[in-house]
Structure 1
Amino acid sequence: MLMRQPSANLQFTYQPPFGATLQEKGVQFSVFSRSATEMRLLLYNKVTDREPADVIEFDRETDRWGDVWSLSVQGLEAGQLYHFQASGPWAPEQGHRFDSAARLIDPYAQALAGTFQKSDDGVVRPPKCVVIDDTFDWDGDRHIRHELSDSVIYEMHVRGFTKSRTAKIKCPGTYLGVIEKIPYLQELGVTAVELMPVNEFPIRDIYGNKMSRPNYWGYDPMAFFSPHRGYAYDSKPGAQVNEFKQMVKALHSAGIEVILDVVFNHTCEGNELGPTLSFKGLENSVYYILSEGQHFTNYSGCGNTINGNHPVVREMIFHCLRHWVHNYHIDGFRFDLASILSRDRTGNLVPNPPMVELIAEDPLLADTKIIAEAWDAAGAYQVGSFGNHRWAEWNGRYRDDVRGFWRGDGGTLGSLATRLAGSSDLYEHAGRPPFCSINFITSHDGFTMNDLVSYKEKHNIANGEDNRDGDNHNISDNYGVEGPTRKKGVATIRTRQIKNMLSTLLLSQGVPMIVSGDEIRRTQKGNNNAYCQDNDISWFDWRLVEKNSDMLRFTQSLIQFRRNQPSVRRRVFLTGQPVDGRKIPDVSWFAPDGSPLNWGQNDLAMVAYIASPGRVDDPEGLGRDLVLMFNSTGDDRTHVLPEVGRGMKWNLFLDTAADSPDDIYPDLDGPMPPSNRVVDMPCHSLKVFVSHLVNI
């Protein structure tokens, strides 16, 4: 009798068709190259070996199948170190850059070991590829499948999160270190971590020297299928695979999803002056977009551009995404400079690009979240028009408009209201819901939230580029003093502004993304491009958890409120009309005096009334209405509680101008508004009142 095994005990693994595949008695090695005339497999005994212990020639007659070179080597096992080596034409004018001496990283390598070795003979010796046994006890772990509309995303750097001595943990700066700090993430309340690049990138330069400016952020990919070896606690080749899986499993056990920041727009091989490490030496004109047959296009701003809409490269990207989803249980991806995926093989932007559509429709990725950084370094800006409803986007318009409003820029009231309501101007026309907007005010790229209110200008001297790097358009302010200050008045306004922006972010329709450390006022000392700062400038300072516990409590309470209240995370756009069986509009806008808001007025104060849609998980349909009072002017004002809420009972939820603990009431039991319904609004402040439960 056939017995059905419980699905919870089954683990779906995905085996890409190329790379190194373990077999019963050996390893199968497969690599694509259309133009190579010879292919060799270099085998090493130790990570420190400069020369291979064995060189195996692929037989052109028996080991080549179409454009795929494939052979099986008996007696090898997991942990084996290897490179490929290819001979072929050196004809840059035709796009060919074969170098028969180059040691090549397998594009499908599942792990790398070691680092670039010093060279005295002109031969670049990159990290070695590792044959991996993908076996792992997931203990029934599956994708969590949080609804995107219910998500709160936390962007963080694996190393930077725990590398500081202040973390006081056993495994600082590693995947295992993240596990040690999971209780903090749980207490904060986020539903997902978005990890800055964790696929392989160079630790040292190509000649084995310590980099003068290390790529700390990791946006310099070298092997797309491999977890970064620099974040492993164990130095054994391939240990990063197991430790990364342990981290994902532990985060899932805590109810936290894992989203990867992936960089399918360029590689670390650079332009024609860069090294031959992998793709260049296997099929340069396929993997990269070239101009005039030989020059590397630079839509990425990093020297080259991946040819993402070539069928071979498209297939590699799909295999890579599936590999991370099914072999590492990754819950989603954020695509760096995703507009490059909208460019054809000549670099032109095309409507309905096949790569973008196929990612959205791929059945093996159906459980994942897909998020685009919908622009590139060559001028493409597709926020609001990238892909279909499956694609969410980093909403750069949200960032700029919210910053501008709270800085006090004139004419930003309407923009603030649009962003608060879910950016319907960007998404509704395309039939995309509010949660396609990933709302953020800060990201890894730019000022931290603390620095956004502490510096008018960038201070990037430590980067070694004479302060030329980094964006000059920060929409920031210092409120009277550049950098740290003991002036109480300046410090008060700065604290208030951070609370204003965090509150706006977490009370807006769409999906909020918080940058690691903003909740405790982490500073980069005015550096808005800390890509090379693998030090205290970038690392999470755990002393701030206690020092700025009031801001942490404020953020935790906001996240808790958001996760409990469907009013601020709707799946359809607000209409301004009565819905959900109620007689009042789902959203109403008022001037401070309670009259209908005149959008043409040049003011920076208003009142928003958001009606509850009811709790979708509560059979009684209970929810709360919200009144948000904004005053971004430099003057104290008064606002009137709208007539539409008369007869209901209200309590103060938050007041960004108040000192802790009176700045937020997690139990929604703050003071009631004055009996005359007139509320004092200090300058640069936000107040939110919540109604008692509403039965709809």
Structure 2
Amino acid sequence: MPSTPPAPPALQFNYPLPYGAILRDQGVQFAVYSRSATAMRVLLYNKVSDREPSRVIKLDPATDRWGDIWSVFVPELKAGTLYHFQADGPYEPSKGLRFNGNARLIDPYARALAGSFQRSTDGIVRPAKCVVVDDQFDWQGDRHLRRPLAESIIYEMHVRGITRSSTSNVDHPGTYLGVIEKIPYLKSLGVTAVELMPVHEFPLAESDGSKARRSNYWGYDPMAFFAPHRGYQSGNQPGGQVDQFKTMVRELHAAGIEVILDVVFNHTSEGNEHGPTFSFKGLQNNVYYMTTKDGGYKNYSGCGNTVNGNHPIVREMIFHCLRHWVYNYHIDGFRFDLASILSRNRNGELVPNPPMVELIAEDPMLADTKIIAEAWDAAGAFQVGTFANLRWAEWNGHYRDDVRRYWRGDFGVTGAMATRLAGSSDLYQPSGRSPYHSINFVTSHDGYSLNDLVSYERKHNLDNGEDNRDGDNNNFSANYGIEGPTRRSAIITLRQRQAKNMIASLLLSQGVPMILSGDEVLRTQRGNNNAYCQDNATSWFDWRLVERNDEMLRFAREVIAFRRQQPVLRRQKFLTGTASRPGELPDVSWYGVEGESIDWEGTFHSLTCLLGTCWLTDPAARPVLIMMHSGGDSQTFSIPEPARKLRWRLLIDTAAPAPKDVYSKHNGPFAVSTKPILLEHHSLRCYVAE
């Protein structure tokens, strides 16, 4: 019989899209955007440690260029392949062009990086290598949890910091897998979502080829938006962080905890004109960044450059990136760092209805996700309450400041405190939004921890190496007699009471509470209010505090549990001060210490809030009575007359020692409606009607 002729070689097609390095049958398709490049190459490496490529693929402009997209298929490559791009083109800084034919360039769409910047002796910057990734993963049926934003309790957390300390007692400290080991703790705390500080790639504590870098802990210095940070990987397998991150998300979801990412689409780690070229600058600098007429960089981020978020090419990259995290990583939401930069047009001007902001809100892939804006930037924009449309929630900076000032005892802020407690209708109602569009917080990564907020009047940032110039000077904090740690029991007691006051206020407010990791156990940064470079015990979660400050932890857990049980605290519409039918308690009413209608013009420190259940159909709803006093002397309160027909059990008393500070079984003593109630100085009481 005649022999069978060999099969013809498989035809390969040059797909110009999608961008990045995409696995195809029998190879990898590379695609990258550059309008002004005159030549493009793919550099392939055998090992992470290689300084020079083992193979260079030159793209032919005649066959491998489609408009401004350079694309080539390379057969026989597999997942795990290491690569860079390299582009020739004009070096004309005055025109915003900074091509460098020797530069090794990170793919803007790289899905993983491996290694680190290699020390340069020849002037060539050698950044971490890109890794070809296979997106297949056993999700075991996992899907997004789709918890309503109004039902959420957010826990802002650092992936490395939560388990890096030796006190964490985990097998994989400082990693995605380490987070999995702390899921029982997160679940016991009662939070419904973790908001992870940046996990997309940023430089390790290393040289980037231009100068030695201070340790980067927070991660607000991106260099590859699509790639999970390799520094949080357990082991060193190139691309191993991809599956580990997915495993972390899957296990958090299995515990009922959503994952929100803090994303930084406002600048990159390439910096200004003095910074290195290792990605965007070497591909199309004047598209990816906002540049000045003389080729410099507009700096609305405070970090040297500003991502050109409303250029069509960059808009496309950002929304591809968000879709990537939602689809490939099952991410439940995003918090946008310095989001007001997304409201700036290509000239840097703030504009109404900015295209990027609208695109994020309307994108169908993101329809089930939470989108949260830090509605300000480093160039003076402050858009809290006015950032965008109905899809966007906002970090409420007014909430933070007003709650701090009220409990510090400032005059004239009681009315503002009531507004924040009621959901900040002054900010969100005019635009048709709801109380849950206010992300309420007292502390965040950026500033004091809760313990330090009540222990320091001045920032103590000398360890950052900037002569204490960095960090905010306006913290609305107090030390109550001594700066920093003390053994004086009266000061310690007052500080703990103030911490409980602010945690209780946060969890009793309409809106969505966000708790800073470690505040529930009074973690300290020793007065450092800008610990961005403190990858050490200053920033890490000290797990010994779980036992040392178990009273505070118990308090936080119980008040979180009460919030989750009580629909009165999670209304989806703003309070009106009216009732749904005659004789019923209004949804909210406000009183002075004698039970009289409050005089909002007075200079006082006391406030009574009565929350009714009208318009709520959930049978778990109960009226709630909150009494707050931020003055330095004790104060008697009277139960308002409309509330006297109900039987009130004490739930919270921040001035009482544990376990009487919060009654976990809702079996606190009854209040006698006709007798005055004495609140100690700087204290809060909360009663629940039977």
- Say yes or no: TM over 0.5: yes
Aligned pairs (5 A) from 1:207-218: 207=208, 211=212, 213-218=214-219
Q: Find the aligned partners of 1:207 and 1:350 in 2 and give their Cα distance.
A: 35
CA distance in 2, matches of 1:622, 1:148: 19
Corresponding residue for residue 170 of structure 1? 171
CA distance in 1, matches of 2:136, 2:472: 45
Partner of 1:141: 142
Q: How far apart, CA to CA, are the structure 2 residues paired with 1:261 and 1:498? A: 26
Q: Does 1:279 align with 2:280?
A: yes
* Cα distance in 1 between the residues matched to 2:463 and 2:581: 55
Structure-1 residue corresponding to 2:662? 664
| Aligned twin of 1:234 | 235
Quote the Cα distance in structure 1 between the aligned partners of 2:524 and 2:206. Answer: 28
Whether the 8 Å contact between 1:125 and 1:206 is mirrored in structure 2 is no
**1:213-246 superposed Cα distances (whole Å, 9 cap, x missing partner):** 2110000000000000000002100000000000
- Paired with 1:437 and 1:96, the residues of 2 have a C-alpha distance of 41
Is residue 2:648 matched to residue 1:647?
A: no
Partner of 1:530: 531
Distance 2:425 2:675 in 1: 31
Quote the residue 2:99 is aligned against: 98
Partner of 2:183: 182
Tell me how far apart the structure 1 counterparts of residues 300 and 173 of structure 2 sit (CA, whole Å): 36
Where does the alignment leave 5 or more consecutive residues of structure 2 unmatched?
1-15
The ranges of structure 1 where at least 4 consecutive aligned residues each deviate by more than 6 angstroms after the TM superposition are: none
Aligned to 2:85: 84
Taking a change above 3 Å as real, the CA distance of residues 522 and 484 of structure 1, as seen in their structure-2 partners, is same
Q: TM-score when scaled to structure 2?
A: 0.97
| Residues 579 and 614, structure 2, Cα contact 8 Å, conserved in 1 | no
Give the aligned partner of residue 58 of structure 2.
57
Contact 2:152–2:513 under 8 Å retained in 1:
yes
Shift of 1:212: 5.2
Q: Percent identity?
A: 64
Partner of 2:21: 20
Aligned to 1:576: 577
Q: Structure 1 residue 668: deviation in Å?
A: 1.4
Unaligned runs of 5+ in 1: 1-14
Amino acid at match of 2:514: M
Partner of 2:4: none
- Deviation track 1:231-277 (CA, whole Å, cap 9, x = no partner) reads 00021000000000000000000000000000000000000010001
Asked if the contact 1:124–1:206 (Cα under 8 Å) also holds between the matched residues in 2, the reply is no
Is the CA contact (8 Å cut-off) linking 1:111 and 1:129 kept in structure 2?
yes
Determine the C-alpha separation between the residues in 1 that align with 2:170 and 2:273.
44
Aligned pair in 2 of structure 1 residues 208, 278: CA closer, same or farther (>3 Å)? closer
* Mapped partners of 2:78, 2:564: distance in 1: 48
RMSD: 1.3
SS of structure 2 residue aligned to 1:669: coil
For residue 470 of structure 1, give the secondary structure of its aligned residue in structure 2: coil
2:624 aligns with: 626
The answer for the alignment partner of 2:676 in structure 1 is: 678
Are the equivalent residues in 1 in contact too, given 2:267–2:305 (CA < 8 A)? yes
- Please name the residue that 1:372 is paired with: 373
Stretch moving more, 314-323 or 573-582: 573-582
Tell me, in whole angstroms, the C-alpha distance in 2 between the residues paired with 1:623 and 1:355. 40
- Counterpart of 2:458, as a letter, is E
How far, CA to CA, are the matches of 1:614 and 1:486 in structure 2?
A: 50
Q: CA, structure 1 residues 80+524, in 2 after alignment: closer, same or farther (shift >3 Å)?
A: same
Do the aligned residues in 2 keep the contact of 1:31 with 1:69 (CA within 8 Å)? yes
Letter in 1 for 2:682: H
CA distance in 1, matches of 2:276, 2:373: 29
Distance in 2 of aligned mates of 1:207 and 1:676: 70
Compute the TM-score of the two structures, normalised by the length of structure 1. 0.96
1:298 aligns with 2:299: yes
Cα separation, 1, equivalents of 2:633 and 2:576: 32
Q: Post-superposition shift, 1:612?
A: 1.9
For residue 580 of structure 1, report the CA deviation from its aligned partner.
7.1
Report the counterpart of residue 73 of structure 1 in structure 2: 74
Sort the Cα spacing of 1:425 and 1:276 in 2 relative to 1 into closer, same or farther, 3 A: same
Q: Is the 8 A contact 2:567 2:620 kept in 1?
A: no
State the alpha-carbon separation in 1 of the partners of residues 455 and 679 from structure 2.
23
Tell me, in whole angstroms, the C-alpha distance in 1 between the residues paired with 2:484 and 2:21. Answer: 52
CA distance in 2, matches of 1:258, 1:344: 30
* Correspondence list, 1:29-428, <5 A: 29-207=30-208, 211=212, 213-428=214-429
CA distance in 1, matches of 2:102, 2:249: 39
Deviation at 1:501, TM superposition (A): 0.3
Q: Give 1:86's aligned amino acid.
A: A
Please point out which of 623, 631, 638 is paired with 2:636.
638
Tell me which amino acid in the other structure corresponds to 2:457.
K
Deviation at 1:17, TM superposition (A): 1.1
Instruction: Assess if the C-alpha contact under 8 Å between 2:566 and 2:620 holds in 1.
Output: no
In 1, the alpha carbon distance for the partners of 2:582 and 2:175 equals 51
Correspondence for 2:7: none
Offset, 1:678: 1.1
Q: Match of 2:687?
A: 689
> Does structure 2 retain, via aligned residues, the 8 Å contact 1:612–1:623?
yes
Query: 1:599 and 1:267 mapped to 2: Cα distance?
Result: 47
- Residue 282 of structure 1: SS of its match in structure 2? helix
Q: CA deviation at 1:33?
A: 0.2
* Counterpart contact for 2:565–2:620, Cα < 8 Å: no
Distance apart, 1:323 and its partner CA: 0.1
- Against the structure 1 CA distance between its residues 534 and 204, is the aligned structure 2 distance closer, same or farther, given a 3 Å change threshold? closer
Q: Is the 8 A contact 1:118 1:209 kept in 2?
A: no
Q: Quick check: 1:436–1:510 contact (8 Å CA) kept in 2?
A: yes
Structure 1 match to 2:484: 483
User: CA contact under 8 A between 2:210 and 2:276: conserved in structure 1?
Assistant: no
For the Cα contact (< 8 Å) 2:585–2:614, is it kept in 1? no
Task: Give 1:205 deviation, angstroms.
Answer: 3.6
**Cα distance between partner residues in 1 of 2:232 and 2:17:** 24
Cα-to-partner distance string for 1:31-63 (whole Å, 9 max, x where unaligned): 000000000000000000000000110001000
Stretch deviating more after TM superposition (604-613 or 415-424) = 604-613
Task: Note the C-alpha offset of 1:583.
Answer: 2.1
Alignment partner, residue 5 of structure 1: none
Could you list the per-position Cα deviations for residues 540-589 of structure 1 after superposition, in whole angstroms to 9, with x for gaps in the alignment? Answer: 00000011011001000011000110111100000011137862211111
- What letter matches 1:423 in structure 2? S
Q: Is the 8 A contact 2:584 2:614 kept in 1?
A: no
In structure 1, what is the equivalent of residue 8 of structure 2?
none
The one-letter code matched in structure 2 to 1:647 is K
User: How many pairs does the alignment contain?
Assistant: 675
* 1:663 maps to amino acid: D
2: CA distance between counterparts of 1:206 and 1:348? 34
Residues in 2 aligned to 1:319 and 1:209: alpha-carbon distance in whole angstroms = 30
Shift in Å, 1:676: 2.7
Cα distance in 1 for partners of 2:390, 2:191 equals: 23
SS at match of 1:240: helix
Equivalent residue letter for 1:344: N
In 1, Cα distance between equivalents of 2:638 and 2:443: 32
